[in-house]
Amino acid sequence: MTDKEALFEFLLRLADDHLVLGHRMSEWCGHAPTLEEDLSMPNMALDLIGQSRNLYTYAGEVEGLGRDEDALAFLRTEDEYKNLLLVEQTNEDFAQTMLRQFYFAVFMELFWEKAHSSSDEVLAGIAGKAIKEIAYHVRHSAEWIIRLGDGTEESHQRMESAVLELHRFTDELFEIDDVISSVVEAGIIADPSSLKAEWDRRVGQVFAAAKLEVPVEYWPQSGGRAGKHGESMGYLLTELQYMQRTYPGMTW
Amino acid sequence: MVVLEMDLDRTSKRAAWQAAASVVDPEIPVVTIEDLGILRDVQVEGKTAFADVTPTYSGCPAVLAIELAVETALLEAGFKPVVRRVVSPAWTTDWITEEGRSKLKAYGIAPPEKVSSSIRSLFGETEVTCPHCGSASTQKLSEFGSTACKALYRCEACKEPFDYFKCI
């Protein structure tokens, strides 16, 4: 694998994380319990999809085969998608939606802070914008986790179930393989495992306020980076790619 | 002769800037892209005008509409337009001009409080003044408002809801 191939693969993963999570958040549009939330979730979706567009466009340039953001988003199959398993998990209830957002946003906040001084100028530029946006995602999701965790008996129980369901997908955030090693060595990103302690601290801080326990024993799940996804991923892509698959080449 | 050419360059650059700067934000039509600090630079080479614009938020849906409007404005002013999207340095609300701030306020949108562009700590709050009655007694209803760049507030004094242009 050349440096260029590693950079492309890395950008694609990051773009996929953002598009898939953005799509999940957009599924709440029109279904949120209050108007304010109905505005907030599509807004977060918009941020994530906007960030994914910047990343896909750059990935396409790095690859140099003429694929643009649309080709990368709409014309790849499930096993070509390299997103984290965490971000493809279904919305279920508010507890699970907000916890998924929180786990990812806390990581990305740390990640973008480092990427802002990346040796790669384009990524540093994208980081400069994303870092301001992600701060809102962290705050908004953290507020909900505390509100629900330290809320009623039912809301607390739902938060606990969400933690039990999602925590096993968080180890994948910090995983290192050849692709990551290559971009770390090139000074493009910080070693993700070096972000783990601070991620644990920030998550622990919010969990303490939310009267939630951070799981100690669980079975870590991964495979997204290798294109191995859960069943729900196929349904997500079916909806996301419907127009381009049905009417190839259509434009607005 | 040389001086004359430089003057010509300056005149056409000013014409191009004025054309591009006249474009208004499609979602807040009282402010221009110059007021918002979205228009970063305009350069002219021969008949071609290069306009650099920066998005407010990565996912701002107005970006395409703005770029198209800049292209059209430059065409109408007699230039061959090239609009370039610049993401770095990242746009900050500090780039909104004083005129832009007063236009926003007159339109009923509270302009961003001047504290930028540090990222406030978790749960940090800012005091926002009501654009209708000027009271500082306001309450945040939602972090996310009608567009990505705004939050939703309510004034405790005059009871009116209003948008707050978030500080980033």
- pLDDT tens for each residue of B73-109: 999 999 999 999 998 888 988 899 999 999 999 999 9
Residue A105: other Cβ atoms inside 10 A: 23
Q: What is the pTM of this model?
A: 0.87
CA B125, B127, B130: angle at the middle one, nearest 5? 135
Question: What are the C-alpha distances in Å from A50 to residues A19, A28, B63?
Answer: 9, 18, 11
Nearest by CB: B146 against A39, A53, A125: A39
**Measured between alpha carbons, how far is B84 from B145 in angstroms, rounded to an integer?**
28
**Do residue B117 and residue A47 have CB atoms under 8 angstroms apart?**
no
Chains A and B: how many Cβ contacts under 8 Å? 83
Question: Across all residues in chain A, what is the average pLDDT?
Answer: 96
For residue B115, what pLDDT is reported?
54
3-state secondary structure of B58: coil
CB neighbour list of residue B69: distance below 8 Å, 6 or more residues apart: B23, B24, B26
Residues A25-42, mean pLDDT to the nearest whole number: 90
Q: How do strand B48-53 and strand B80-85 relate by DSSP bridges?
A: parallel
Residue B6 pLDDT more than 80? Answer: no
Q: Which residues of A touch B (CB under 8 A)?
A: 36-37, 39-40, 43-51, 53-54, 121, 124-126, 128-133, 135-136, 138-140, 142-143
Of the ranges A193-202, A241-250, B134-143, the best mean pLDDT one: A193-202
* Segment A162-186, tens digit of pLDDT: 999 999 999 999 999 999 999 999 9
- C-beta atoms of A131 and B120 within 8 A: no
Q: Which residues of B touch A (CB under 8 A)?
A: 55, 57-61, 87-92, 117, 119-120, 122-123, 141-146, 148, 152, 166, 168
Mutation for B interface: A132, A138, A146, A202, most B CBs within 10 A = A132
Per-residue pLDDT band at B119 (split at 50, 70, 90):
very low
Task: Give the other-Cβ count within 10 Å of B117's Cβ.
Answer: 15
